[in-house]
Structure 1
């Protein structure tokens, strides 16, 4: 079986969040399981000179002003990585305001580039709206396809006139059973309609998105896919080498509770914290992640906790945390800093995730692997990954609910806390199980 993954980012070449992490780990695990695996992603400006170029030419399938294509390729961990370079991607950063145009051009280039390289997939697996056009084109070309929703909130919508010109699909593809969404082009909807199977990154999120609350306007279509047996959820895994407290070079390595104390002491010293327990979060600063809920809960939390936050994003949330960082029990590090994130995961006692919705979430898995107990809102992948006898759950997306759950954590007897911590560190979040589930889904989809 030849699996071709198409995604807008893949760690360690490009990454803005969990999508890059998934593409950095799942393909390698599938290769270890015996599949032939190729990953196709844009050749961003930051990759220039780091990956060998293997082909350069023009593609007649693209508009003349972007028809020149450069292709780079590298093999690692048994996976073939193919990067497609186009003029719209020759700029700093991964994402921009004209991304519907940029990823339409990328989507139209993928199948012709695969053909030039002599690659024909058994199955094409597209990830999120940036790969949705590739899924539609592959399905129309009689290839079998799987489309994974990593976050339904982002859909790739644009006006119909320009969207049709950019995507260049057959006329029938722009109807209500294709890309049309209230008079606009919606790439996510196109991926959902044309894919042979649709997955999300957790079983609970697969159920939630069929409801009005979480369906982002596509709940009717998703309900139909669920009824037809075309929608399912497969929980993400965690890179066991990258996130391993026993071998992590960024922390005082540990394998038990006693060893974890050294990481906690180091984190206290780094941020000048007192002896109160440490509640931490590493997150995008966004309302989806409930960071406004955490900030509003700080007056209660700082009575009993030190609070450490690492993240960047919303300017208003950032400004609020900058202000709170003047408090002796609040530490805020702005932006993303991977070595620091390792130190925070390892040194904190508890980890807050008050998400309004969470398709899967990796932070809670990382926290548990490092013996840090999650305090999570009951939604999406947080339900599927945090056992009630390990972490602390709350239902309402409100500061008082988060504070109450943190109180429950604070009042947990030491013996029970130790048991929870040891159990957390023993949980299996490896990619081997999810990789096998995807391979079985591919088999059912292709008849192999």
Structure 2
């Protein structure tokens, strides 16, 4: 571990930041990690697009700079605000036709992917590069640029064209999303011609944004040590496993943290009853409140399973659907909050209609209900086929809601399976199954149910969860160590 002297100036580039704009876990990380790094002494600037929803909010925005980019009509502006109540500055890249539109960052209001995403995020990357080189004349130049996912992955490739560029860290939050576009798009974006090769951004005849990070970043990391290993395999490498194996010496994993100011059952204003590991009896109030919210029979002793998830195959929701077919004669309840694939949505809604006394399904997302599920359920189910890190299992553990998870990615790195040994040595925090099958999921839930009916043992596992430390402070310290390694001359290759 390096000494933490001369804390770096950091430009943190991301396509979404909670609470400004959010579609998934990247926003949670981008909203919490920079604040944790600032508390460790880093001088942090977060840079993201100035989406329409942000511009229409009541945020106080200040003008910083404007510029023109070759081939981009109109001017590009840079505005600033602050990340919640912290000193962390947020720089917003403004371009009316690229970002000031209704819909989320990647899709329109109908759920269709924006056809010009390559142009939009290439523009974003070019402005990040200008900011990193202080060519917008802001009088501030970072020591390290930290890029996240494909939307910022052209930055390392473009910075490599400039000898005085700062080093780049590229974080993979989900390798399944790569930013693939036709070769004609590469030609239209005005990128250096030398980048079009298998050693550059070409991927089987297509332009691959993510290769910009994987090939050209000084260091690569992902959001769990297990996922860093998995993406080097044929099964989870999406054709990039050879490149990741080649760069394995520069590849590492750092588990995500959670924002303890938001996800804390002792202080959470969104749940019916606050509680802690020392007042677990109060947790049952949240169970009753959840049952009443969802119009399920209010039974304190019934085994209640919860899930907050995107409804896509990656999350293993098809396994949950199969499992729910088997619960009609069991003392179980299940509640789901999520949105995603329309066919999955329809199947879950129909399942709830067939069995309204045991199953409740809410399609969409509601922050208050998400918190209440974490506080009120006995078990949280995450049967993901792959999971780079996962945040919901961490939220669940913080709330003493025991996770049932598949043995993949960050779920492996955060959840300790309950066995006789781990229960005895007070390390058990959940129930882990090894195969993505309904039989394996059912067996894990049955194991959990058996121990749930042994209240003293169950409470030990609940307390183990609530006493685990997954706050951002520890993870931010590891990132800081990585930034400082990158600043050393040997790692700027």
Scaled to the shorter chain, the TM-score interval is: over 0.9
Equivalent residue for 1:356, pick from 362, 385, 391: 385
Aligned to 2:99: 89
C-alpha contact 1:40 1:82 (8 A) present in aligned 2: yes
Map 1:51-66 → 2, pairs under 5 A: 51-55=60-64, 57-59=66-68, 61-65=69-73
Cα displacement string for residues 347-395 of structure 1 (whole angstroms, at most 9, x for unaligned residues): 0000000000000000000001101000000000000011121100001
Aligned partner of residue 340 in structure 2, secondary structure: coil
- Whether 1:204 aligns to 2:226 is yes
Equivalent residue for 1:109, pick from 123, 127, 140: 127
Aligned partner of residue 380 in structure 2, secondary structure: strand
**Distance in 2 (alpha carbons) for counterparts of 1:416 and 1:12:** 38
**Distance in 2 (alpha carbons) for counterparts of 1:269 and 1:80:** 42
Aligned to 1:191: 213
How many angstroms does 1:342 deviate by? 0.5
C-alpha contact 1:53 1:70 (8 A) present in aligned 2: no
Equivalent residue for 1:68, pick from 55, 72, 75: 75
- Structure 1 gaps of 5+ residues are none
Equivalent residue for 2:284, pick from 250, 253, 261: 261
Cα displacement string for residues 82-134 of structure 1 (whole angstroms, at most 9, x for unaligned residues): 00011211211211333222111111122224532232110000000001012
Aligned partner of residue 255 in structure 2, secondary structure: coil
Equivalent residue for 1:122, pick from 143, 154, 175: 143
**Normalization by structure 2: what TM-score?**
0.88
- Whether 1:143 aligns to 2:184 is no
Task: Assess, with a 3 A threshold, how the Cα gap between structure 1 residues 362 and 196 changes in structure 2: closer, same or farther.
Answer: same
**Distance in 1 (alpha carbons) for counterparts of 2:374 and 2:207:** 41
* Bigger Cα displacement from structure 2, 169-178 vs 389-398: 169-178
Aligned to 2:186: 163
C-alpha contact 2:199 2:215 (8 A) present in aligned 1: yes
Map 1:278-297 → 2, pairs under 5 A: 278-297=304-323
How many angstroms does 1:428 deviate by? 0.2
**Normalization by structure 1: what TM-score?**
0.96
Equivalent residue for 1:424, pick from 438, 445, 465: 465
* Bigger Cα displacement from structure 2, 369-378 vs 93-102: 93-102
**Distance in 2 (alpha carbons) for counterparts of 1:272 and 1:150:** 36
How many angstroms does 1:270 deviate by? 1.5
Aligned to 1:324: 351
Task: Assess, with a 3 A threshold, how the Cα gap between structure 1 residues 51 and 72 changes in structure 2: closer, same or farther.
Answer: farther
Cα displacement string for residues 389-437 of structure 1 (whole angstroms, at most 9, x for unaligned residues): 1100001111111111100000112221110001100000011111111
How many angstroms does 1:56 deviate by? 5.4
C-alpha contact 1:293 1:398 (8 A) present in aligned 2: yes
How many angstroms does 1:217 deviate by? 1.1
Aligned to 1:217: 239
C-alpha contact 2:118 2:185 (8 A) present in aligned 1: no
How many angstroms does 1:53 deviate by? 3.6
**Distance in 1 (alpha carbons) for counterparts of 2:246 and 2:172:** 16
Equivalent residue for 1:401, pick from 432, 436, 440: 440
- Whether 1:438 aligns to 2:445 is no
Task: Assess, with a 3 A threshold, how the Cα gap between structure 1 residues 301 and 445 changes in structure 2: closer, same or farther.
Answer: farther
Task: Assess, with a 3 A threshold, how the Cα gap between structure 1 residues 409 and 137 changes in structure 2: closer, same or farther.
Answer: same
Cα displacement string for residues 275-313 of structure 1 (whole angstroms, at most 9, x for unaligned residues): 321100001111001111111111124433100000001
- Whether 1:30 aligns to 2:37 is yes
Task: Assess, with a 3 A threshold, how the Cα gap between structure 1 residues 64 and 349 changes in structure 2: closer, same or farther.
Answer: closer
Aligned partner of residue 147 in structure 1, secondary structure: strand
Cα displacement string for residues 186-220 of structure 1 (whole angstroms, at most 9, x for unaligned residues): 01012100000000000000000000011011011
Deviant stretches of 4+, over 3 Å = 55-58
C-alpha contact 2:55 2:100 (8 A) present in aligned 1: no
Cα displacement string for residues 199-250 of structure 1 (whole angstroms, at most 9, x for unaligned residues): 0000000000000011011011011111xx1100000000000000000011
**Distance in 2 (alpha carbons) for counterparts of 1:342 and 1:441:** 33
**Distance in 1 (alpha carbons) for counterparts of 2:160 and 2:326:** 53
Aligned to 1:311: 338
Aligned to 2:414: 385
Aligned to 2:265: 245
- Structure 2 gaps of 5+ residues are 1-7, 108-112, 418-427
Aligned residues: 443
How many angstroms does 1:41 deviate by? 0.2
C-alpha contact 2:155 2:212 (8 A) present in aligned 1: no
Let me know the Cα RMSD of the aligned residues.
1.4
Aligned partner of residue 435 in structure 2, secondary structure: coil
Aligned partner of residue 83 in structure 1, secondary structure: strand
